Structure 1
Amino acid sequence: MALVVGTYEKWLTNGIDGDWIDIVSPAQLFSERYSEIKVPKSRISGRHIVKVLRHSTPIINFIILERSPSDREVYFGWVSGVTGVPVFKSSDEITIRTFEKYFKSLERHRLWGDPTSVDYTNRKLGGQITRSDLVDKLGNWVTLSIRDGKVHTFGFFKIELSDGRINPEDSGYLEIFGEVFTEELRFQSEINHGKQHIAHYTNKVFIEYGNEPKIRIGFCFYEFSNSSRRAGLQAEHIDGFFIDERDTVRNDILGFKVGKDFDFEDTTSRKKLAQKTLKVLLDQRRLSQTVFDDAIEKIKSSSL
């Protein structure tokens, strides 16, 4: 892994204004490959762009190096997690074009949005996890987002596995649907994510979202973990962030799983749950008293 990380770091700081484009599985997106790369922003000359596949099916690994249109080569053949597998190198143009077509074919199986440009100055994607740590993500969730030091929105949503009734090809994929409300708990937007938006691996979920088909306006990372139960909320909770690429402002996300009987349609239930969530986060010192007081005041002053 050190050799792989070193290769990225050397390329990113080589003084050449170019693109390194990866197509990776959800598992690789959250692997040590990216979490261990450490490059000061001031030294970065190239762009590292990641496109995430909708699945983790094993594929043949390859890399095409292009120094100029007449100076290209392809390396291929290694298998992730397997040692002693030979790697082949070719400068044959027909072979290179074949792998270019393979690359374009893989692109068609990525999440529907734009590529993700990796910013190594502010991110946390990596980390190993054991099966006993896996979080049950299915069920009802409440989250809040914090922007510029204040609560910005509340989210009430459900995570399910598609049963394939609408489209049999979607069976078994995660679906996320619900609603987003302002800090005063006024309706803002719907949440509706299917397999074309979501990649997930162990306790990490990557979501692309947009307002038109195949036009991404932002992306979101969720990391799920377990804690002790508090005030009627479940042990499972979420930490993460989302970025709306129209304004590039980071919004931090905190939230909890809630009971299966929670009524998403009931205004009073939403209000009580939002207040309860704020109190638990304050008790856990994940919210400051100032942020808590400001958010509670806005909820109480709402005419809803």
Structure 2
Amino acid sequence: MRHAETVTFGGSALNRAAELRGDKADVLALNENSRSIALWRGKPLICGTNLDQLALLPVSQDLFSEADEPPVPPIFLGQSEDGSALFAHDISAWEPAALDTAAMQQFVDPTQQHHPALPDDHRFVELRGVMAQLSARDAELAATARSIFGWHRSHRFCSNCGAESRMAMSGWQRNCPTCKTSHFPRTDPVVIMLITRGNKVLMGRSPGWPDGMYSLLAGFVEPGETLEAAVRREVYEEAGIRVGAVSYLSSQPWPFPSSLMFGCAGEALNEDITVDPHEIEDALWISREDMLTVFSGQHPTMKPSRKGAIAHFLLRNWLADRLD
């Protein structure tokens, strides 16, 4: 698929400079030209009148040393084209003056948090709410930092002996001081499928989704399974549809919390849908014409998939006949 890397969170050609992780990155953090992004409880710091830019702050920003005690070590993300270093700091221990905890539990958190030490147009914002507005580089940096910090929070203890491990290699490793085991960031492979039969595409929805929200079927790849086999298994389990030929289209890092979505196309061998209620809530076939109505926002019951998600990307390219 020629447009594969234009998907959100992909295609910015970030130089991750893995050879500099460790002591060399610590030296770079002292350079006045180095910059850092900030995250608060998974929400990146966004700036600009339209909240469409990732805020890049000096690594010496007081915010980073005051928010946590002791401060959480930064993650080295890579280098900009001019050679300056890029980091990420997590200030999740900061407590805003007031929090709308009920609103924060919504499917997509609409709240914004402002730190008093920052300009008024700097806000911590749910990444899913602004991902389609960010540049490719900003989106990749935010997604990478969110995934890595999420991994550190959920993998504090050594899976080999149970002792608390320590961050190492500029955030890209955890080492156990007790049994000396090293642990590395986890990424979960997921297939998401554009299943078609003639002029129709298969759509489904999970329990708890907002009214009118449908998407392409998706599921985790199991150990010992190919992507093609995972596509066929998941579609049959969820909707009772047999799938024939399967092809790869595009991939997307999905930092919620840390998945790699493999976008695939599949040809359905039957049309009769049998939904497994333990898997999904509903599934149906949508014609190309009806999907155009969905994308225009005029469909009576179905809402368009969220911009920035790979489902939206695949459906849009299917409608434009650009899956080659």
Shared fold per TM-score greater than 0.5:
no
When you count strand as a share of all residues, which structure comes out higher?
A: 1
Q: What TM-score do you get using the length of structure 1 for normalisation?
A: 0.24
Greater RCO (CA < 8 Å, at least 6 residues apart)? 2
